[in-house]
Structure 1
Amino acid sequence: MTTKECKSHGGSSRKIVRRILWSIIGFLFIVLLTILLIWAILQPSKPRFILEDATVFAFNVSGNPPNILTSNFQITISSRNPNDKIGIYYDRLDVYASYRNQQITFRTSIPPTYQGHKEVNIWSPFVYGTDVPVAPYNALGLGEDQERGAMFLMIRADGRVRWKVGTFISGKYHLYVRCPAFIDFADRSAGVIVGDNAVKYTILTSCSVSV
């Protein structure tokens, strides 16, 4: 074989490799473009959360000044998938309560679940904290709330979700849910007594959701 023939053969091989690479790139581009177009047409909406009620089993403030908090709640929170063509995987969802931006309970994990089109899920987790020290800058407000017998809390849910469109499943997205809850402990008649010391309060508050 002459030198000229070797060069010609090598050039042909490089052309074939380049064609294969461009074919693969073109195929991947078409697939990604198709997914983006489907995503844009369907326009997935965020799930909608509602804090329905809270049953208070314990809420005790101690210390001088009052800066130690023990609490035990059972909340009912519902989530609705507003999409008619997109499902939602809740891979992780942790629920807890905060007071003036300070976490006052442990995180309670809700089992992973799948939410179908237009489907509603309802969860009733317990959230509690024992002898939680309240930050000094919140102690004054906590004392005032104790005297008034009412408190504004924020029920939070943090987690990871994925979207399902047909057979396509997206990557994981961070989900943030914030549900305001005003509870009047002084007025037991504002709720329903469900045990020796437990009172169930109807709240029905829409939650802010960001993904």
Structure 2
Amino acid sequence: MSVKECTHHKNKSKKLFRKLFAGFLILAFIVLLTFLITWAILQPRKPRFTLQDATIYSFNVSAPILLSSNFQVTISSHNPNDRIGVYYDKLDVFASYKNQQITYFTAIQPVYQGHKDNNVWSPFVYGTNVPVAPYNGASLTQDQSNGQISLIIKINGRVRWRVGRFISGRYHIHVSCPAYIPFGNKLNSAIPGIVVGTGIKYQLANRCSVNV
């Protein structure tokens, strides 16, 4: 008699588990379907970044392969979405040369960017006696003597998307902005500089690549 009761309870537990599992699958499918439909309707697009200008205050390569630099960049960001806002929770700006970081990280204050809104930042990017690879040090010196250095201004950080009251989880964002900086009054300099205090300002207006 006791064996029959145990079998009965066991079968009942299996049926309950199957119902709960089936209910969970249906709920997960509904949530996923709702998310996909909402995402398709909203058609989210990545923010657009532009490197507007760069003001060079100092840029010196010294032995043994150390770089000291100080410049200010102006970067604008545009949110192209009609119904999606963007939280920039963490953004760090730095410069790189031939895939090597050559300045410290400069943090940008967290900010919310509404629909179709624009933000403009003008952080100082700098480094003092930053070690660079020997081949990069030689290349930097040569490029500077030639009158132009090709840098990449990078922004790494985290963003969240906001749709109504819904706020997504954090996503990594990577922005790369090419910056072709002339030095001196070389004849091959296609970008004229403007003296700003102790620095020289160059108008760039370069579109940046964005990966989220």
In the other structure, the counterpart of 1:190 is: 192
Query: What is the identity, as a one-letter code, of the residue corresponding to 2:30?
Result: I
- CA separation in 2, counterparts of 1:80 and 1:55? 22
* Residue 7 (structure 1) shift: 5.8
TM-score, normalised by the number of residues in structure 1 = 0.87
Residues 87-166 of structure 1 correspond to what in structure 2 (within 5 A)? 87-166=85-164
- CA separation in 1, counterparts of 2:129 and 2:211? 31
Specify the SS of the correspondent of 1:84: coil
Answer yes or no: is the 8 Å Cα contact 1:86–1:163 preserved in 2: yes
Query: What is the identity, as a one-letter code, of the residue corresponding to 2:147?
Result: G
Q: Does 1:177 align with 2:175?
A: yes
CA change 1:6–1:175 in 2 (3 A) is: closer
Specify the SS of the correspondent of 1:95: strand
Q: Deviations over 1:31-79 (max 9, x none)?
A: 1210122112322111100001111121122227xx3211001111011
* Residue 2 (structure 1) shift: 8.9
Residues 43-122 of structure 1 correspond to what in structure 2 (within 5 A)? 43-63=43-63, 67-122=65-120
Answer yes or no: is the 8 Å Cα contact 2:61–2:137 preserved in 1: no
Specify the SS of the correspondent of 1:50: strand
Specify the SS of the correspondent of 2:81: coil
Aligned length: 208
Once structures 1 and 2 are overlaid, which stretch shifts more, 131-140 or 74-83?
131-140
Query: What is the identity, as a one-letter code, of the residue corresponding to 2:205?
Result: L
- CA separation in 2, counterparts of 1:70 and 1:203? 22
* Residue 177 (structure 1) shift: 0.7
* Residue 148 (structure 1) shift: 1.9
Query: What is the identity, as a one-letter code, of the residue corresponding to 2:130?
Result: V
Q: Deviations over 1:69-110 (max 9, x none)?
A: 110011110110111111112121110001121111001111
- CA separation in 1, counterparts of 2:100 and 2:9? 71
TM-score, normalised by the number of residues in structure 2 = 0.87
* Residue 169 (structure 1) shift: 2.3
In the other structure, the counterpart of 1:36 is: 36
Query: What is the identity, as a one-letter code, of the residue corresponding to 1:207?
Result: C
Once structures 1 and 2 are overlaid, which stretch shifts more, 199-208 or 21-30?
21-30
- CA separation in 2, counterparts of 1:94 and 1:50? 16
**Alignment RMSD (CA, Å):** 2.4
